[in-house]
Structure 1
Amino acid sequence: MAEAAAKTVLDKISQGHLECPICCCLFKDPKMLDCLHSFCLNCLEEMMSKQKPKAKKITCPVCRRETQVPDGGLQSLSSSFFLSSLVDEVKQQEAALGEASAPTATCDCGEGKEAMWRCLDCSDNLCQKCREAHERVKSTKDHQIISLGDWHKSKMPPAEHSKPSKPITRMCTIHNDHPLYFYCDTCDTLICSMCATLDHRSAEHNLLKIDDSIRSFRTEVDNILQEFEKCRQRFKSTEKSIEHARKRLQKKLAQARSDIDAKAEAEITKIRNKAKLLTDKVNEIGQERDSEYEKALMHNRKQMERADQTIAAVNDLMSQADDVELLDLKPKVMHNLEFQKELKCEPANHGPSFIGVKCQDVVSDEDLGEVCVSEKWQSKEEFGKEGTGDGEFQFAARVACFTNGDIVVTDTVLNRLSLFSSTGRYKTSVAQGDAGHQLEAPCGVAVTHDDLLFVTDQKKVKVFDTELQFVREFTLSADDADGQSESDLTAVAVDSQRVAVADMGRKVISVHNLDGSMIASISNNMVKNFLTISNFGRLVFTNYEGQSLLCVNFKGKEMFRVKTFMNGKAAQPTGVLCDDDETIYVAVHSGKRGDSEVQRYDSNGAFVATVAQGLFNPLGMAFTPTGDAVFADIYSVKIFERM
């Protein structure tokens, strides 16, 4: 059983790593192309014979990259000594297991003649006639040939294969009796002491000991591979962002078609043809833009596929070849690694991901509507005014929406929660000291999918129903960040399973189950007054003084931190909100009231566009069940339709 398992492992190694991609047999005299892929010399020669006569380049059948054929022909290409050694080792292991793959007693020429010799470079058995031919041919005359009997005797027993072998002493090809000792960094070649004395003694030749040179070479390769990994992460992040934009485009396309159909039905038959024309126009734009996204994705994937092939070849070489061979191949390796300079990542263009329809009444021969190719919000409703009475505000700071469309507004000066209908009609309110509501200084508000209203109230989080009736409360953990600061709960956000609370006093974001039990506590000095949870399980928040938009995961790892700007100048962010497709919306202030706007960012924190302008002083933000955006705007509440 053990021998069978060992044989299976050897077969897998042979098939996966030691077979020529052309002939699918174990490598014989493998040669390496500039792309670091290796093939049998005979296979390359046969392939070259089928190309144009006297071709100066050979195309790799794996990656299609070209290699300049040396003046001495294909036999002058770099030999893959480590592959030859591995092939020989596998054959020895198979022989030790008593398998049929052990060296045969006949010559590998196929004529059935008795084998008397073994070529260590080709791993072939040779008869006397083949040996003589081997020594005559220019490409093989320097190969090391020993008797077949000596070769059998030289094989180690299986138990000794695990012992580390001594480094092979390579001799100089010019001075055959001198070992290679130096590496000339100027000439990119291995030399012996005689070479150093005779041909590389001038000051322009930078000579290094082999050990020092290989150490420097490995370090250089490691650094480049690390840059490759960073590049891979950028491609991965960009692809994810492109996919988000593409999904948003599909969602918006579907909504646009739905809007068109609704308007078309209202106008019945007379607008059916115009509806179709408009739909075709939307589809045409959508297809063109989707095609561009597809091109960007395919470009980036092909770039990384090519890079991965190069990295795989380099990694195999670096892990399997010996030091001398690595240095011999250094020019080719470094040439291949320069591919990273050519990598060009197509960025995620979020602008074309938006498409909508602005419909209008059909009169005479006017079109059914117009296609909106960029996102733009327009004012829809506004209610409230400055004052202290019902439905009035001194400092409307936060908003939240129930599933029936009702809007909850927090006034942090009046310490009051007010409830309004979706159209702004005042319904009820609770304030500091109201009996039965246990409310002191409400601030942050958020509503769950089952209509529970979570409110931060100084050091506690309190829960209310749709009529603003008190349900329960919970207190955050006493383990604060510095052991001294007191809690000051300023913001709350919810998703389907969790509630996150910003504690500006202790500089902590705590994450809880909906019943108040603790999940995680995250220390962050930037946490302030506004917070939201994204669908990807991230916490997004703003820092007004630091003019920053930040994102961390539930373990506290910072995913991004970006500065916010208006008209090229640093600006202060307040309210923040995440859409279903991971789009982030931020209310941004120039520093004076009456000149604020809402900006859109992608899931990686990259600015996309300004979607609304001319707000007074927007703070808290929320989405209505129908997708409109609601703002607490100091003395009023504004509702914007998202186009």
Structure 2
Amino acid sequence: MAGITICQSVLERISHSHLDCPICSNRFKHPKLLDCLHSFCTECLEGLRQTHDPDSPTLVCPICRKETRLSKDGVSALGNNFSLMALVEEFNRQEELLRVLRSKVRCQQCDSMEEVVFKCTDCDHFMCLKCKEVHEQLENSENHRLVAISDPSIGKYPIGKTPQRQRSEEVRCKKHGDLFHFYCNTCQVLVCTACTALDHHSPEHDFVEVSSAEESCRKELQDLLCRVKRSKKETQDAMDLTDMALCKLKAAANQVVTEITEAANREVDKVRQREVALKRRVGQIDQDRSAVYDRSFVGYCAQLQHADKTITRVCELLEGCTSLELLAQKQTIQSTLRAAADKYSPPKLDELFFGTFNFQSKEIPQNFGQFVLSKWKLRVEFGAGGDVTTSFQMAQEVSTFADGDILTADADKNKVTVHDPKGQFKCYFDGKTDQSEKCLKVPSSISVNHQDDRLFVVDGPVVKVFNQEQMHLYNFAPSLAGVCCEHEAGLKSVDDSRDTTEKIAEISTARQEALNLNTEPEAGTMGASEPVAAVGSELVAEVGSKATSDVKTEAVTKYIASCLAVADSLVALGVETKKVISLHNLDGSPIRTLPADLVEDNLAINKTKELIFTNYRRSRLVSMDLYGNKVFSVETTHKGKLVKPMGVCCEGHSNIYVAVHLGLGRGEGEIHHYDNEGRKVGHIIQSLYNPLGLALTPRGELVVADKNSVKIFQKVKCNTEISDLTYV
């Protein structure tokens, strides 16, 4: 008896928490679903509508206040919550069972005081042992199912009818009374066989079987769920950045107050009044901007909660509903998910995040202090239209010399041009030499080492190195030795069955012969050995005189570098075909080769010697250290949707700038800003034509190769005197 009491208490708590209508506080009766996925009794919704505005085309949810648009049929046309209906029915059965167990129910067949021990699930009668025997012998009830009171299945559905099956049988065409077997994509409704012949016939209507429609529906809903989850992640990142920016703001404000106080103490008589004014102004800035961060934080919390609730409700609905129920509620669920995905708004933290206090305390000028803000503004654009010889057809790579001159690689023209910082054309950079093999033929990736202004150019299978005066210095190629070591590929060709030791010995011999040669390859020859390139290049050694012509062509094709980055004393070459990054010293000697499955055409190195690269096809931004350990790998997104990343460059150790394509149309390019942990800070430049390559000048300006032109953006600092400071 104690166990029965506990069960009844549990059932009452469950009913009160989950099965009672929020309006009438009674057990749900014919529950209907609103667009916000909240459920209420049909009669309660009718009463709610009559109470407020019977003629209104919308119904406001009393819980979340979201509006649901009603059709001409009103509340009755809203979707039924079949899952909840089945749960209420099952709950009622269990309560009936508990009632029987708690009380001595009299036999409903003979009205005797005999103990009830069986129940006929077909007649829905309780009976004693004697009546049970008689019931089994009667002709009209000999096939009835008799269940013992102690049998747990007494509260469940009849044999052969699971909740989902019974619910499916209840969903029939209101017009023809048949079961639904098809789904009309044109009208977005379930139809029966008669409907397909009368009201939804081809070719005006496109209808498919329920199973096919269910599969398509689930796929669409899963895609929308992914959008919501990505939006949730971006919101979480924005919250983290907001918190970080707020901490930096507080620290900067505290530092300014301290510096102002120290300066004021040194010049007590002169600046005491100014000290008070400065503190008051700094406090106002802190207060104003803190309020902005606080509002952003609250908004992100609300977005996160809404996304969590939506994901939970839709996942529960997808797991518990049948095919017909899912399709019947498809539009409602899609509308809810789209609203949740589009609710996210990207953070606009750039100007606030990079604002800094700048206080000069060495001298005490009239303008005692300044507050510095910055944003990116176009300074100059060149190469668009005009002279055919100086205009760009496909500007895809940019780099800069230490004096500010800008180099641009045009993939269609196979030219590298040099412009001054003002965008004026200076010359073509093609290597001033009479030897054609030392000139540039098909330059692709370019990068400058700012320590000595050496220019590294990927030109076909080799990397050619020049000084600023266009004097050719040496060549080298990606390291094959590292590839073999890292990927256990051995040093065998496809048909070479020799072991690795023999192959290494032969390569060493071939390398030595290549080093001893005094001739260079003919122009356009892909397979010949290159003596200058042999500095640190295992590739050139392998394709030397000991390799066959077939192996030469295959090796050179496989190991052409797809991207290049140079920083301080390090050169990194990405080889997309082999999915590796080859690290070299400045003289071309190999260091090691790292596996990099996602490396493509764009690569950069930050101040902490981490490799940053993008993958256009998979929409990813990846960072790894010099030993192949992943620092981060994140999807590049904008407003919850994947975007395609292209060029990348780094400022210091914490700022990463990425050129992205929002869509396939022109004019949909942007520059996005990420921190050194892969979190998106925001977008700094918008409405670019087709951004491909990025580079930073020594002055901190951002150079963008925008296909038909090159654009230079500079940080415009808004210096405002603290004595007359306003919030920007």
Give the TM-score of the pair, scaled to structure 2: 0.47
The yes-or-no answer on 1:559 pairing with 2:633 is: yes
- 1:116 aligns with none
Which consecutive residues of structure 1, in runs of 5 or more, have no partner in the other structure? 106-149, 376-478, 492-501, 510-520, 534-538, 563-568, 587-599, 616-643
Change (3 A) 1:100 1:294: farther
- 1:54 aligns with 55
- 1:65 aligns with 66
Give secondary structure in 2 for the equivalent of 1:359. coil
CA distance in 1, matches of 2:145, 2:26: 22
Match of 1:602 among 675, 691, 698: 675
CA contact (8 A) 1:183 1:210 kept: yes
Which amino acid is the alignment partner of residue 481 of structure 1? Answer: E
Could you tell which deviates more after superposition, 293-302 or 263-272?
293-302
Change (3 A) 1:342 1:93: same
CA contact (8 A) 1:263 1:359 kept: no
Which amino acid is the alignment partner of residue 152 of structure 2? Answer: P
The yes-or-no answer on 1:273 pairing with 2:273 is: yes
Change (3 A) 1:210 1:601: closer
Matches within 5 A, 1:563-574: none
- 2:378 aligns with none
Which consecutive residues of structure 2, in runs of 5 or more, have no partner in the other structure? 107-143, 376-483, 492-535, 537-568, 571-581, 585-589, 614-619, 637-645, 658-672, 686-694, 701-728
Which amino acid is the alignment partner of residue 675 of structure 2? Answer: D
Change (3 A) 1:614 1:219: closer
CA contact (8 A) 1:275 1:368 kept: no
Change (3 A) 1:230 1:100: farther
The yes-or-no answer on 1:36 pairing with 2:37 is: yes
CA distance in 1, matches of 2:604, 2:198: 76
The one-character-per-residue Cα deviations of 1:18-70 (angstroms, maximum 9, x if unpaired) are 23233343312211222221111232233233314533322001221112334
- 2:152 aligns with 158
CA distance in 2, matches of 1:83, 1:154: 28
* Deviation at residue 189 of structure 1 after TM alignment: 2.0
The one-character-per-residue Cα deviations of 1:246-268 (angstroms, maximum 9, x if unpaired) are 22111111111111111111112
Which amino acid is the alignment partner of residue 41 of structure 2? Answer: C
CA distance in 1, matches of 2:23, 2:194: 41
The one-character-per-residue Cα deviations of 1:435-466 (angstroms, maximum 9, x if unpaired) are xxxxxxxxxxxxxxxxxxxxxxxxxxxxxxxx
- 1:481 aligns with 486
* Deviation at residue 297 of structure 1 after TM alignment: 3.0
CA distance in 2, matches of 1:181, 1:561: 40
Give secondary structure in 2 for the equivalent of 1:351. helix
- 2:524 aligns with none
What number of residue pairs does the alignment pair up?
414
CA distance in 2, matches of 1:171, 1:156: 36
The yes-or-no answer on 1:338 pairing with 2:338 is: yes
CA contact (8 A) 2:35 2:68 kept: yes
CA contact (8 A) 1:359 1:368 kept: yes
CA distance in 1, matches of 2:150, 2:181: 29
Which amino acid is the alignment partner of residue 551 of structure 1? Answer: S
CA distance in 1, matches of 2:696, 2:276: 28
CA distance in 2, matches of 1:369, 1:247: 22
- 1:210 aligns with 210
CA contact (8 A) 2:612 2:624 kept: no
Aligned sequence identity (%):
23
CA distance in 1, matches of 2:86, 2:371: 67
The yes-or-no answer on 1:322 pairing with 2:322 is: yes
- 1:14 aligns with 15
CA contact (8 A) 1:92 1:155 kept: no
CA distance in 1, matches of 2:74, 2:612: 66
Which amino acid is the alignment partner of residue 59 of structure 1? Answer: V
* Deviation at residue 15 of structure 1 after TM alignment: 4.2
CA contact (8 A) 2:49 2:59 kept: yes
Matches within 5 A, 1:186-201: 186-201=186-201
The one-character-per-residue Cα deviations of 1:398-431 (angstroms, maximum 9, x if unpaired) are xxxxxxxxxxxxxxxxxxxxxxxxxxxxxxxxxx
CA distance in 1, matches of 2:296, 2:194: 55
- 1:626 aligns with none
Give the TM-score of the pair, scaled to structure 1: 0.53
The one-character-per-residue Cα deviations of 1:68-112 (angstroms, maximum 9, x if unpaired) are 33433423432222211101112222333458999x99xxxxxxx
Which amino acid is the alignment partner of residue 359 of structure 1? Answer: Q
* Deviation at residue 352 of structure 1 after TM alignment: 2.1
CA distance in 1, matches of 2:322, 2:647: 56
CA distance in 2, matches of 1:101, 1:76: 41
Give secondary structure in 2 for the equivalent of 1:39. strand
Which amino acid is the alignment partner of residue 602 of structure 1? Answer: D
CA distance in 2, matches of 1:101, 1:19: 24
- 2:175 aligns with 174
* Deviation at residue 330 of structure 1 after TM alignment: 2.0
C-alpha RMSD of the superposition: 5.0
